């Protein structure tokens, strides 16, 4: 499992590589996606590698992918119930970890 280090605002995010060195995430679209997911979920506890194998409806993965592709779009106020929040978290983690593993 890869360790993620992030500040509270999620504008500085790093992961620990296989040599134990912190590697800054420089993909600004990924950083903005993290910030949007934090806003949607109402928490900064968004990283969970164990969720990547969970089944999820494709619509949630589409929403997260669209957020990644168009980070400048402002969704406005977000208020999701717990069920959809969990599904967004699953979709986000699938995207996030796939991007990290490409660099790892």
pLDDT at residue 104 in the model: 58
Q: Which pLDDT tens digit goes with each residue over 21-60?
A: 999 999 999 999 999 999 999 999 999 999 999 999 999 9
Residue 1 falls inside a structural domain: no
Lookup: tokens for 38 = 């934090």
* Residue 42 included in any domain: yes
Closest CA to 90 of 55, 43, 44: 55
Structural domain tally of the chain? 1
The pLDDT assigned to 75 comes to 77
The percent of residues in the chain predicted with pLDDT above 70, rounded, is: 98
Looking at residue 71, what is its pLDDT? 87
Range of the domain at 33: 27-103
Closest CA to 14 of 46, 6, 102, 103: 6
Supply angle C-alpha 11, 6, 98, rounded to 5. 90
Please check whether residue 97 lies inside any domain of the structure: yes
**Residue that is written with structure tokens 């993620």 in the block:** 4
What pTM, to 2 d.p., does this model score? 0.91
């Amino acid at each position: 499992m890869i360790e993620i280090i992030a500040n509270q605002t999620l504008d500085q995010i790093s992961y620990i590589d296989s040599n134990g060195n912190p590697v800054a995430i420089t993909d600004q679209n990924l950083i903005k996606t993290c910030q949007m997911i934090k806003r949607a979920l109402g928490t900064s506890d968004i990283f969970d590698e164990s969720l990547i194998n969970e089944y999820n409806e494709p619509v949630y993965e589409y929403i997260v992918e669209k957020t990644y592709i168009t980070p400048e779009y402002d969704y406005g106020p977000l208020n999701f119930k717990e069920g959809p929040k969990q599904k967004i978290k699953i979709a986000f983690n699938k995207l996030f970890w796939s991007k990290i593993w490409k660099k790892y």
